[in-house]
Structure 1
Amino acid sequence: MNSRMIGRRSFLASTAALGALALGGGTTGCAPSSRARSTAATAGGLPLTAVNRTGRHAAEPVYMYVLGVDPATGAQGHVTADGVFVPCAASDNGPDGFTDYAIPFRDSGDAAVALPKMSGRVYFSIGDRLRLKVVTDGNGRPALQYPAGWVATDPNHRILHDWIEFTHNDAGMFCNTTAVDMFSIPLAIRLAGTRTQTTGTLVDGGRDRIFAAVSAHPDFARLVVGDRLRVIAPGHGIEAGLFPADYYDSYIDAVWDRYRGTPLTVRTDAGTYTGRVTGEHLSFSGGTRAPASVARPSTRDVLFCDGALAAPNDGVTGPVAAILGAAFNRSTLLSHASQPVTDPARYYREGVTNHYARAMHEAAADGAAYGFAFDDVAGHASYIQDGAPTSVTVTLTPF
């Protein structure tokens, strides 16, 4: 993976700050700190404006939450409406057991805040406030439970919500929309700075197109929650018993059979590697340092880009695993013995493929989406960055 990216892989794992935002439903520790407002995190606030253009939900209250980690202290917390980062504390929980970190939208239809230098997420909810709770982790530190809309027992399951991910630091602003876990509210980012960039905008009727495309496939239809409240990613569908755990197995078997006798070439920034299957492993040679062999993945490994396809930040095995993970999700391994395939017209053409990710890309105005964690391979993720940002706008686009 390109080191500049803050996609799902690096967003959750590359630093302690980003790693604090574990996949939903988990708790993440806040480094010990005072409750004093952080001057270090407040310096260099970037104007962030959120605009409600949903139309159908124009009369319902909309709330924004800026959650993340102060890089100066490692403390996890939230940003107040006046642009100040405040570490989380158990005392933040109210009588109902949940915090109130919401920044309400104004009557004008928008919300604004000066974004401190930090890494985190900007959540949005429509119609109700999110149920966020500060708990204590195994080390006795405050920890914030994030929404997990794909879990039926999560207190936010019936609340319409979604989020973007970002890192704002001395190097600039790095941000993306994401459907790695789920899709619900169509969000578009406009980043101004050395130039103006946008991502996340859907084609007209894009939200309906996504739900229709997922619903049309028998194996994926059960991923739609409620009356088009959200659609969850197929990996989480396996966990919830809504998606077949062996969905990719026949494709994986075919890939393993092919590359027992045919070499697979994988090109990375660190060199070009040639792989062949021996037993249950795909072993590579070439370059100055050969990557570790890759074990036969499971369907879950493919959809989560984890397990056998986990991408360590080692510059060798990591990029190879990422490229293989993308190729499995895009189903290009049987048709192309040289990876990565960069032409999106070649993606999702097999019967067994990630139709959830395909739906996200087909509905995107620029074709970019984060439909799975390795979707940044070959530059197809809904990610933008700027080294000298002046403002960022997130629009909740029409339903």
Structure 2
Amino acid sequence: MITRRTLLGGLAAGVVGTGFALAGHASGAPGRTKAAGLPLEIANDSGEFQNSSVYVYIVGNDGTQQVRVTPEGELKPVAVSDNGSDGFTDYAIPLAASGTTTLTLPKMSGRIYTALGGKLKFKAVEDGNGKAALAYPAGWVDSDPNYGVLHDCAEFTYNDGGMYCNTTMVDMFSVPLAIQLTGAKDQTAGLLKDGARAKIFSDLAGIEGFGDLVVDDKRVIAPGHGLDSGRFAKDYLAPAIDEAWSAYASKDLKVTTNAGTFTGRVAGDKLSFTGPASVSFSKPSTRDVLFCDGTLAAPNDGTTGPVAAILGAALNRATLTSHPEQPTTDPAAFYQQRLANHYAKVMHDAAQDGKAYGFAFDDVAGFASYIEDGAPSRIRLTLTPF
């Protein structure tokens, strides 16, 4: 199964300025290619913005280069020459004057951005290999040219194997989005409860240590990005991490993955496992936990990666010390400690089905707002009511 972590594992061309790079699993042809793809419907049920002030951007890669989709359904490579006199591209796809907008989604891997009330500024640049790449919006950076624009995105890979897609709050949350995927099954992801957007903002503002992540009525920023910008304490999770490392210095931690069960003990600052393979992890920092990176980086190797993902999820959900057998699968146990990723908790509380992508390892035990279909016939992205 393709999960978000394999789907978004790393783009060769390098996405500039985002929390995640978009992986190139899709097969596509370079150059100007007529998209023979999946019907994509965009529905504006926001209740706050007319279709005339909503813009869509479909950007990503085709496995060899960064690409974008034109309003006519053509798959075109990103080019530095696309930058206009203001220094930015205009890849906006306007919505129909009223009702649902129907587009064609070609085989590629990428993001569908929605911008409300103004256009986004994507800058085409050259990466370290001299290839064209895009500087994506970074709504958590106050100097970013898109900071003042209300925007959000969904992520997808559409290839010969099918459609794999999710809504995400890994970097931030601003616009309520929901996906309906029709094919072998009829599935949805990302549907929020009535009034959820306002409740997300108010709930997060009321949690000690998380209030500065709320940016007016524009967005709430994920704590990892908040940490980098001085909005969130760099050592917030340190006592919880220390507690877990201390606990497993004197007892076993068992982590079960598809490869089997790993048994771990702490010695010094190393948590070392034996079992299907020998893997070890240095004590992570708060930033490592929030970004699911650094000492908790998860290579797609079937051994270290899954163990790292389970550890990262347990630390975000505050279950690692209390549950010596991981992964924890009962959501009633999640986020019950004072030191937890309460940003992710708020996102899950807001979802109708309890599923959200509040951090990168939220797919552990199946709690992510992720769906897939091997025989897709239609995808619908809806801007749901604010």
TM-score (norm: length of structure 2): 0.95
Which residue identity lines up with residue 24 of structure 1 in the other structure?
Answer: T
Q: Which residue is equivalent to 2:313?
A: 326
Which residue identity lines up with residue 391 of structure 1 in the other structure?
Answer: R
Tell me which of 266, 269, 274 is aligned to 2:258.
269
**Equivalent residue of 1:293, what SS?**
strand
Which residue identity lines up with residue 209 of structure 1 in the other structure?
Answer: K
- After superposition, the Cα gap between the structure-2 partners of 1:66 and 1:59, relative to the gap in structure 1 and judged at 3 Å, is closer
Distance in 2 (CA, whole Å) between partners of 1:206 and 1:358 is 13
Preserved CA contact (<8 Å) 2:10 2:23: no
- 2:180 is equivalent to residue 180 of structure 1: no
Which residue identity lines up with residue 284 of structure 1 in the other structure?
Answer: F
Q: Give how far 1:262 is off.
A: 1.0
Q: Give how far 1:29 is off.
A: 12
CA offset digits 1:185-231 (Å, max 9, x no partner): 000000000110001000011111111111001200000112x2000
- 2:47 is equivalent to residue 70 of structure 1: no
- Percent identical across equivalent pairs? 55
Q: Which residue is equivalent to 2:237?
A: 248
Q: Which residue is equivalent to 2:350?
A: 363
Distance in 2 (CA, whole Å) between partners of 1:123 and 1:197 is 21
Distance in 2 (CA, whole Å) between partners of 1:25 and 1:272 is 31
Q: Give how far 1:110 is off.
A: 3.2
Q: Which residue is equivalent to 1:81?
A: 71
Q: Give how far 1:109 is off.
A: 3.7
- 2:2 is equivalent to residue 4 of structure 1: yes
Aligned residues between the structures: 383
Distance in 1 (CA, whole Å) between partners of 2:21 and 2:38 is 28
Q: Give how far 1:10 is off.
A: 2.0
CA offset digits 1:101-156 (Å, max 9, x no partner): 11101111433211100000000000000011111222222221100000010000
Q: Which residue is equivalent to 2:223?
A: 234
Distance in 1 (CA, whole Å) between partners of 2:20 and 2:86 is 20
Preserved CA contact (<8 Å) 1:29 1:76: no
Q: Give how far 1:11 is off.
A: 3.0
Preserved CA contact (<8 Å) 1:294 1:309: yes
**What does 1:55-204 align with in structure 2 at a 5 Å threshold?**
55-58=47-50, 61-71=53-63, 74-204=64-194
Preserved CA contact (<8 Å) 1:76 1:88: yes
- After superposition, the Cα gap between the structure-2 partners of 1:28 and 1:188, relative to the gap in structure 1 and judged at 3 Å, is closer
Which residue identity lines up with residue 349 of structure 1 in the other structure?
Answer: Q
Preserved CA contact (<8 Å) 1:29 1:137: no
Distance in 1 (CA, whole Å) between partners of 2:235 and 2:23 is 34
Which residue identity lines up with residue 251 of structure 2 in the other structure?
Answer: T
Preserved CA contact (<8 Å) 2:11 2:23: no
Q: Give how far 1:285 is off.
A: 1.0
- After superposition, the Cα gap between the structure-2 partners of 1:14 and 1:101, relative to the gap in structure 1 and judged at 3 Å, is closer
- Which consecutive residues of structure 1, in runs of 5 or more, have no partner in the other structure? none
**Equivalent residue of 2:158, what SS?**
strand
Distance in 2 (CA, whole Å) between partners of 1:327 and 1:27 is 24
Preserved CA contact (<8 Å) 1:190 1:199: yes
Q: Give how far 1:95 is off.
A: 1.2
- Which consecutive residues of structure 2, in runs of 5 or more, have no partner in the other structure? none
TM-score (norm: length of structure 1): 0.92
Q: Give how far 1:36 is off.
A: 3.7
Q: Which residue is equivalent to 1:37?
A: 32
- After superposition, the Cα gap between the structure-2 partners of 1:231 and 1:91, relative to the gap in structure 1 and judged at 3 Å, is same
- Which piece of structure 1 moves more, 53-62 or 278-287? 53-62
Q: Give how far 1:286 is off.
A: 1.6
